[in-house]
Amino acid sequence: MQQRLPSLFEEPILFAHRGASAHARENTLNAFSLAQKLGATGVESDIWITADRQIVLDHDGLVRVGLRKKPISTLNRNQLPSHIPTLDELLTHIGSETPISIDVKDVGAFEQLNKYQLNKAIVWLCHPSMETLVKQRPLLPDYRLVNSVRLAKIKEGPERRAASLSQYGIDALNMHITDWNGGLVALVHRFGLAAFGWDLQHPPVIVDGLRMGLDAIFSDWVDRMVDARQTL
């Protein structure tokens, strides 16, 4: 069994991936409400920007219009299916004190984010490109920025990546759970970065992730996350 290692946070964040997506249609207000009812301490979603500059929540960024799929970026908000909420609607729905992890799929959305009245200290903006995050750091000073990447894509190695992220004021490194081990979590913590892990779906994996000191985890199965946390 994984040795119990400390987290940087008093309590690790249990992010409901696209809401309680194992139990309800992903990225819908119903899924986010259910996630909170089941005990998630944070929610996660993907954002895109519409042609009329609205930030909306969807995974693929494509919607069916007639017989074809069209990019969300080519459509106005009122042309989208009714189940796709805006970021404003999510914020109203879940309240101002719930941590949110946002996977920024369309870099054009970064420009719009400072227009939102929200508690930016609990909003984690995730992107795979460190260069993009470094560029956004001075433009989004109050948000938490997260480099979401697979370990195999970090050509310079995790120690140098952690050092660079720390140097440029990026707040966390987010990797797939299979990329993490206790030693890597401790390494990232040494540079003052939070360690996030995604795709923790089964109880033994969730328990191991929490025991290795991950500061936040992402799962479709909110009930399993909550139950696993209570066993520690």
Within 13 Å of residue 194, how many CA atoms lie on the same side as its CB? 22
Under-50 pLDDT residues of the chain? none
pLDDT value, residue 66: 77
Specify the pairing of strand 42-49 against strand 55-57: antiparallel
Instruction: Name residues whose C-beta falls within 8 Å of residue 215's C-beta, 6 or more positions apart in sequence.
Output: 7, 8, 9, 12, 13, 172, 194, 195, 196
Span 114-165, pLDDT tens digits: 888 778 889 999 999 999 999 999 999 999 999 999 999 999 999 999 999 9
Which domains does the chain carry? 13-47+84-230 (3.20.20.190)
pLDDT value, residue 144: 97
CB 29 within 8 A of CB 93: yes
